[in-house]
């Protein structure tokens, strides 16, 4: 599949999120799914996907340490769109993790905790897919600045699709308000980026939007979007048709 990826930046950059999702659903069929952490971008992507194809597959990484507000939002999404959110969990329960790695691993080695509770479950999931769709944006973190709308994910070895890569925070929130979408109420209480309860705090005036994640550590990513970009975009000329078919 990697051989089918080429650099055609200008063409794909002109596509709308609707075009990209439509192409993804047609090209990969049941081998593409949407990943969501149910942030503002995630809510926009879910709504757009529902307009393109009402029956789509979506999963989230349930670390066992999510905020109650995040779980409540998932339930709202399931009811609103008539879908089921697949919740991926670590092979270790929180008690197992404490027994093997000591108490509060996140406070001593957040990278190890993220790897156990996020990266490894995602790796197992993506090993069964040909492509995954994310809601990351280029201006969120330095690691995401080079994200392409369609690219080869060299870390997980499949195609990665980022329909909102070139969106701004302002555009995301305008879409949410224009379409009356539900969102996590923690955003109204100083939490622009929301992860696990242990590693997320509210952001103070003047701080970066990601300052509330892993505060006190030189860390802004959980490890899901830090792969080296090995290739470029999928070689296709029309978002409705493609000769780049998923492998059997």
Cα separations (Å) of 12 from 38, 58, 78, 93, 106?
25, 23, 30, 41, 38
- Interhelix angle for 40-52 vs 17-28, to 10°? 60
Residues designated as active site:
222
- Interhelix angle for 40-52 vs 169-178, to 10°? 60
**Count of CB atoms within 10 A of residue 54's CB?**
10
CA pair distance 163, 175, nearest whole angstrom: 14
Alpha-carbon torsion angle 230, 235, 237, 240, nearest 10: -90
Asked if 25 contacts 58 with a C-beta cutoff of 8 angstroms, the reply is no
Sorted by sequence, the CB contacts under 8 Å of residue 7 that are 6+ apart come out as 231, 232, 233
**Count of CB atoms within 10 A of residue 246's CB?**
17
């Amino acid at each position: 599949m990697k051989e089918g990826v080429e650099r055609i930046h200008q063409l794909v950059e002109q596509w709308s999120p609707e075009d990209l999702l439509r192409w993804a659903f047609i090209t990969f069929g049941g081998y593409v799914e949407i990943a969501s952490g149910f942030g503002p971008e995630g809510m926009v992507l879910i709504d757009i996907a529902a307009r393109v194809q009402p029956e789509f597959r979506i999963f989230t990484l349930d670390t066992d340490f999510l905020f109650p507000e995040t779980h409540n939002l998932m339930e709202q999404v399931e009811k609103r769109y008539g879908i089921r959110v697949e919740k991926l969990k670590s092979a270790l329960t929180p008690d197992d993790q404490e027994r093997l790695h000591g108490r509060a691993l996140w406070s001593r080695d957040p990278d190890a905790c993220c790897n156990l509770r996020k990266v490894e479950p995602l790796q197992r999931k993506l090993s069964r897919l040909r492509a995954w769709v994310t809601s990351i944006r280029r201006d969120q973190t330095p690691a995401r600045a080079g994200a392409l709308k369609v690219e080869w994910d060299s870390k997980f070895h499949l195609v990665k699709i980022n329909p909102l890569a070139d969106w701004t925070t302002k555009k995301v929130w305008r879409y949410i308000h224009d379409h009356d979408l539900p969102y996590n109420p923690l955003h109204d209480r100083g939490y622009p980026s929301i992860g696990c309860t242990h590693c997320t705090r509210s952001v103070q005036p003047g701080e970066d939007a990601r300052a509330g994640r892993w505060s006190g550590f030189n860390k802004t990513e959980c490890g899901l979007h830090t792969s080296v970009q090995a290739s470029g975009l999928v070689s296709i000329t029309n978002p409705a048709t493609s000769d780049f078919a998923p492998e059997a």
